[in-house]
Structure 1
């Protein structure tokens, strides 16, 4: 059986998707098992708050690292499971990437999807725990649940027994141009990782310069085609 874990603030979105059609049949046939894990259950405050203001200032809120890390560690053998983060900074998901991810899933029988929200996730979670980052296109959604479901649906279809006709797979077809800089929020230190000093300096000119440099660096590394478009 294949286990799919979704770390999310809205587990009902995930559960609803798997209540119909091919995905429902895959569940009923015990081909897959879905685990919708509510990140709020791992908050350590009475209001189950899991977000905070970004270091360095800026609009919106950032999901805190500790609740997410606790949610990840609640999964048995999480160290051996691919952890997928859905982000505009990720590799564009396509047929080739789907095949790669399907092979990983078949090998370890489990996969974890981290669904972000608000302005994003504290970068330290990504640096330490995420194994793969994927994007489903150059646009922004309100959360990572829909992209996670897109990837899940795409790879589940490649699992033996999910499609009634296995031949279906072989017959199928195929606003700045910079990615966002890393985000950090409280606490200032997570495990042995600290927030970059420039974001604590209060020097807005230096913060702006750092963010622009990081955006260029990340774009060059992950989506150099965007820089070509800018030219």
Structure 2
């Protein structure tokens, strides 16, 4: 996979892309990062990339020409998926991460200032993505979030690819609780079933705990999920357990 990042602040990405999973994926040549300052594509002698909006109003708006030239300068065989990080975009979620992970070439546009010339949205980008209903100074941090979530899904990026499959949201449920050594810490014990070695019972326990955690913390996820017969049975058990707790 090739990932191009268009930003006015390339230095923000240096540490992030060279560390942890992203850095290892780059070293293994699983992903190839290219960071460009789109100010370099401005025809202005001062490298101007923004201007005041037509019709008046506060703030500055990113001009279309530097960004169009930056994307068009990329020599690739296949047309890239061009992603605009902005609060007006679709809310980001795991299924979209999995979809983007199948692409060969992604381009992220990270803006600053008041906004973008509308012709960038209409004629250059293929996707607009938001990572949440809040305001950031620019699109760089949002792009880092999306890039991290996409690269970790690439085959070989993680030491254990099962981890990516079982992560929260990948299955539609929040992840079950994890424990490691010691078996008892300050009087708090690891659940006996995890020490039993009975893999079928462990898997059932994990599914039940995922359902428990999801129903408590993100019941909206259950509404979107197509429940299996086993899930329905476990949810009924959880409901009975809750009734008993309320009575006690």
TM-score past 0.5 threshold: yes
* Pair 1:101 & 2:96 matched: no
Q: How many residues align?
A: 169
Deviations 1:65-118 (A, max 9, x none): 111111111111387110000111111001122122222x1xxx1110111110
**Aligned CA distance change for structure 1 residues 47 and 148 (closer, same or farther; 3 Å):** same
Aligned-pair distance for 1:56? 1.1
Gaps of 5+ in 2: 170-248
How well do the aligned residues superpose, as a CA RMSD in angstroms? 1.3
Deviations 1:170-217 (A, max 9, x none): 22113xxxxxxxxxxxxxxxxxxxxxxxxxxxxxxxxxxxxxxxxxxx
Gaps of 5+ in 1: 175-231
Distance in structure 1 (CA, Å) of the matches to 2:35 and 2:6? 6
Distance in structure 2 (CA, Å) of the matches to 1:60 and 1:3? 33
- Counterpart position of 2:210: none
Distance in structure 1 (CA, Å) of the matches to 2:64 and 2:156? 37
Distance in structure 2 (CA, Å) of the matches to 1:122 and 1:35? 24
Distance in structure 1 (CA, Å) of the matches to 2:20 and 2:153? 16
- Counterpart position of 1:24: 23
**Aligned CA distance change for structure 1 residues 152 and 48 (closer, same or farther; 3 Å):** same
Aligned-pair distance for 1:15? 2.3
SS at match of 2:116: coil
SS at match of 1:45: coil
Mapping for residues 39-188 of structure 1, pairs under 5 Å: 39-77=38-76, 80-103=79-102, 105=103, 109-174=104-169
Q: Which moved more, 1:77-86 or 1:6-15?
A: 77-86
Q: Which has the higher contact order (CA 8 A, sep 6+)?
A: 1
SS at match of 2:133: coil
Question: Segments of 4+ in structure 1 off by > 2 A?
Answer: none
- The TM-score with structure 2 as length reference comes to 0.66
Aligned-pair distance for 1:12? 1.1
Distance in structure 1 (CA, Å) of the matches to 2:88 and 2:35? 24
Distance in structure 1 (CA, Å) of the matches to 2:130 and 2:77? 22
**Aligned CA distance change for structure 1 residues 98 and 136 (closer, same or farther; 3 Å):** same
